[in-house]
Structure 1
């Protein structure tokens, strides 16, 4: 049975509104997401050596990256790495692979680094900037982060030849702020911490997703949306999961509208496992964590 044969036709949707696949077309531009995206664009336009974006699991970081990729012009060469791991030399191979640069994996580290440097110089001469996006960067070792930091020293006169965007979970911010990461921190020209949605944003987010697939946006009552916020802490991925289960339950009961009782039934049955979602210490309507530097410090 096709997934669309479940509740999609019953509610008149074109497709499922709450899938977990990062899709920039479904992105709800909350104030938080607009600011985070502005930081990403600022990082590229200002030739920032390193841009840092952090947020909880499911906060929408990867979706923002996908949205950014869809807007990049031909004058920017993008490399995207997800969940890179490994020691010295292996990360360099990840980078070459992401940038579609041919290399011999049996060559020495010095020769491999020279291949990357030659590629960066060629792109610079052709008038193209190179941007490397590392998603789930909290999985990198300190050695890996230091190796990335050293890449920002590759330059032509005053221009950085490769820009880095580090995207990861909150612990990434803690790692880069550690005393032994001081040189890396000095190269971060802009950073933003993406928080969860607040109680006012969650209903707007749900209505947006419903309308994107042809729904009215009124399939969930206000009380249901409040229950969903309380159970998910406003984390978009968890909101999607709980809304999906609620639609399934309502469809099974031939109910055109999802109310608070339906959400409570989903939670009571234990099919939704995200009820212990972490909450941010500060409300999202306060001033977000945004940091700018005029330019990154240069290390030897």
Structure 2
């Protein structure tokens, strides 16, 4: 069911590039429901046998708790009363042991915007385990657009300097939304025509091209069509579904904040 839009191909290429070049830090951002987690799942299916991969979702807490999240991701036992120094030593020993065995340790954080600036800086410190020309530990961060805002803060400039590759996964344009709907219908056993092009374009407009929202609207449209005895979803049926309030869509992200000079110019234009 995975649909490879141009943006998804590029994002996946960035992830593969990060692993191939043993980049210490790779970052992919995107709106909620854009398909970041789907890409990671596809990447893990292609992971080499010489990689030890740990996946963490929605990690929170101070630096000691972060290390416990990490150890848990690799199924590494640690004493309940271990302090930060002991936890760090356990993880470092694990990384060095895996390196000696010819394995690369890859740590993936999903929803990394929840980590916050201090925790991201702590992650940067973990990359100090790497020595010389050999990269023993790779970090891959996936998050919502605010992750980029956090990383580009002045206090995280050292973190940003260690990011070898980054990509922002945007929403589908109309053509990709229509192709995406057809793709999923066909892979589900249909012809691809169960949702007409005009209806698909209406779904795109309502979903703003976000794959997760496209799925929801398209699925419920098919339910409505079946209930009405229709062979295909038309635009009137999509409008009926939306009018019935079955779909909750958040307001779009606010635009960039104007700096004072821009605000002055805008007021001058309005006067």
Q: Deviations over 1:61-117 (max 9, x none)?
A: 000000001110110110000000001210001001101111112111111100100
Of 183, 188, 197 in structure 2, the residue corresponding to residue 208 of structure 1 is 183
Q: Contact 1:195–1:280 at 8 Å: present in 2 too?
A: no
1:279 is displaced (CA, Å) by 9.4
**CA separation in 1, counterparts of 2:245 and 2:255?**
24
What is the match of residue 174 of structure 1?
149
Q: Which has the higher helix share?
A: 2
Query: How is 1:188-227 mapped onto 2 (pairs within 5 angstroms)?
Result: 188-227=163-202
Q: Does 1:266 align with 2:241?
A: yes
Tell me how many residue pairs correspond in the alignment.
256
Q: Does 1:246 align with 2:221?
A: yes
TM-score, normalization by structure 1: 0.83
Alignment-derived partner of residue 269 in structure 2: none
For residues 148-193 of structure 1, what are the alpha-carbon distances to aligned partners after superposition, in whole Å with 9 as ceiling and x for unaligned? 0001111233212110001000000010001111010001000000
Matches for 1:1-300 after TM superposition, within 5 Å: 26-274=1-249, 276-278=251-253
Is this contact kept in 1: 2:53–2:107, CA < 8 A?
Answer: yes
| Structure 1: gaps spanning 5 or more residues | 1-25, 282-300
RMSD (Å), alpha carbons: 1.4
Following the alignment from structure 2 to structure 1, what is the Cα–Cα distance between the partners of residues 6 and 116?
A: 32
CA shift, 1:54, in A, is 0.1
The answer (yes or no) to whether the contact 1:58–1:235 under 8 Å persists in 2 is: yes
Gaps of 5+ in 2: 257-271
Contact 2:116–2:150 (8 Å) recurs in 1: no
1:297 maps to what in 2? none
